[in-house]
């Protein structure tokens, strides 16, 4: 594809291949470290939920726990690229585990996300385009509510488990992979059904309290973060304009496995998450970088793009 070759030419003008090769070196210890930290956070916030049961503290506790569960999107994303770990089976195992907890078929996510990288910010082709302009306040709030994402993700899971891929989805995955995608969804649904059956049989509320409810609540936070990646950026295939890096504090960066370095990630997806900081240092002046954190990005979006309704101002 000539467009892909052009993307590589643009990239080579920004950073030579020899430098990229050094950045792209893989290892297992970085991913294991981040994974241990992430699951420790999940255990910690889960413990907070347990301590808060029967009190009003349950509300912030469930939200916090939901944040740690929803940010499993970050290792799901990194492992879908195959870059989280050097060892392939380890990468695939973590991909599956995260997909199961996050509730998104992991193999399907890989194909769906690959399409997003090929057609980033190209209207009607980008599989993950978020809030294309013009943007109304209603559209923004609806997206951040996570309702459309849940609707989409659950329909993928259950439709695939029923053996059906929508015509639009055929473009994402090659025909020879569709049986595997259907099998994957059926295995996931069977696992969830098994958990539900055990919970009902023994009168257990734990799967709801410590997983489902916080998972649903926390997704809004994830959607809010993900708005910053491409919303308001130029449409088209120019990696220097269609994706935004958001500079934020180290805790958020670690929680998101360095995904806030999103422009760098789209410029060269084979640079693993643990090298994105160094990559940023080498190319930041050639990419779209937002200083001042996520609140500032959203404030800027409201100021420049988000309207009360089409043709009106939000203020």
Q: Give every CB contact of residue 15 below 8 A, 6+ residues apart in sequence.
A: 267, 268, 279, 282, 283
> Is residue 1 close enough to count as binding other proteins by CB under 8 A?
yes
93 binds other proteins (CB under 8 A): no
Q: CB of residue 84 vs other proteins: minimum separation in angstroms?
A: 11
The rounded distance, in Å, linking the Cα atoms of 96 and 79 is: 9
Helix (H, G, I), strand (E, B) or coil at 109: helix
C-alpha dihedral (258, 261, 264, 268), degrees to nearest 10: 30
C-beta of 188: minimal distance to other proteins in Å? 16
82 lies in the site for other proteins, by CB under 8 A? yes
Q: How far apart are CA 146 and CA 70, in angstroms?
A: 11
Q: Which 126-145 positions form the footprint of other proteins (CB under 8 A)?
A: none
Residue 39: burial class (beta carbons within 10 Å; 0-12, 13-18, 19+): middle
Per CB under 8 A, 268 contacts other proteins: yes
Indicate left, alpha or beta for 236 from its phi (over 0: left) and psi (-120 to 50: alpha).
left
Q: How far is the CB of 295 from other proteins (least distance, A)?
A: 33
Nearest to other proteins of 176, 285 (CB atom) = 176
Of the residues 10, 19, 26, 192, which one makes contact with other proteins according to CB under 8 A: 26
Among 10, 24, 52, 301, binds other proteins (CB under 8 A): 24
Tokens of 62: 């469930």
Copy the structure tokens of residue 218: 């926390």
Q: Which of 43, 49, 235 is nearest to 124 (CA)?
A: 235
* List 63, 100, 118, 145, residue binding other proteins (CB under 8 A): 118
Residue 98 or residue 173: which is nearer to other proteins going by CB?
Answer: 173
Taking every pair of Cα atoms in the chain, the longest distance, rounded to a whole number of angstroms, is 61
Nearest distance from residue 191's CB to other proteins, in Å? 20
Choice from 6, 8, 33, 299 touching other proteins (CB under 8 A): 8
Cis peptide before 48 (omega within 30 of 0): no
Contact of 267 with 239, CB cutoff 8 Å: yes
- Which span (30-38, 42-50, 173-181, 235-243) binds other proteins, by CB under 8 A? 173-181
Choose which of 10, 32, 39, 92 interacts with other proteins (CB under 8 A): 92
Q: Cβ closer to other proteins: 179 or 292?
A: 179
- Footprint of other proteins on this chain (CB under 8 A)? 1, 4-5, 7-8, 17, 21, 24, 26, 81-83, 86, 88, 92, 107, 110-111, 114, 117-118, 173-174, 176-177, 268-270
């Amino acid at each position: 594809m000539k467009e892909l070759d052009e993307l590589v030419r643009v990239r080579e003008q920004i950073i030579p291949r020899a430098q990229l090769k050094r950045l792209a070196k893989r290892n297992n210890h970085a991913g294991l470290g981040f994974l241990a930290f992430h699951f420790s956070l999940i255990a910690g916030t889960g413990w907070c939920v347990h301590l808060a049961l029967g009190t009003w503290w349950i509300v912030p506790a469930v939200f916090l726990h939901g944040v740690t569960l929803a940010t499993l999107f970050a290792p799901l994303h990194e492992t879908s690229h195959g870059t989280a770990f050097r060892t392939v089976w380890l990468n695939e195992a973590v991909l599956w585990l995260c997909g199961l907890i996050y509730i998104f078929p992991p193999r399907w996510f890989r194909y769906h996300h690959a399409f997003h990288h090929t057609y980033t910010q190209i209207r009607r082709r980008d599989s993950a385009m978020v809030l294309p302009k013009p943007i109304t306040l209603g559209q923004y709030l609806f997206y951040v509510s996570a309702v459309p994402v849940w609707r989409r993700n659950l329909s993928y899971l259950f439709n695939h488990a029923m053996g059906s891929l929508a015509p639009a989805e055929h473009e994402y995955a090659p025909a020879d992979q569709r049986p595997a995608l259907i099998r994957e969804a059926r295995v996931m649904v069977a696992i969830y059904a098994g958990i539900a059956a055990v919970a009902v049989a023994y009168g257990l509320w734990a799967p709801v309290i410590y997983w489902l409810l916080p998972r649903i609540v926390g997704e809004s936070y994830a959607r809010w973060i993900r708005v910053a990646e491409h919303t308001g950026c130029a449409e088209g295939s120019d990696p220097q304009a269609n994706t935004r890096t958001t500079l934020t504090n180290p805790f958020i960066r670690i929680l998101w496995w360095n995904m806030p370095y999103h422009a760098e990630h789209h410029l060269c997806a084979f640079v693993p998450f643990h090298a994105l900081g160094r990559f940023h240092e080498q190319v930041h002046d050639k990419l779209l970088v937002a200083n001042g954190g996520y609140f500032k990005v959203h404030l800027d979006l409201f100021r420049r793009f988000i309207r009360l309704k089409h043709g009106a101002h939000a203020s």
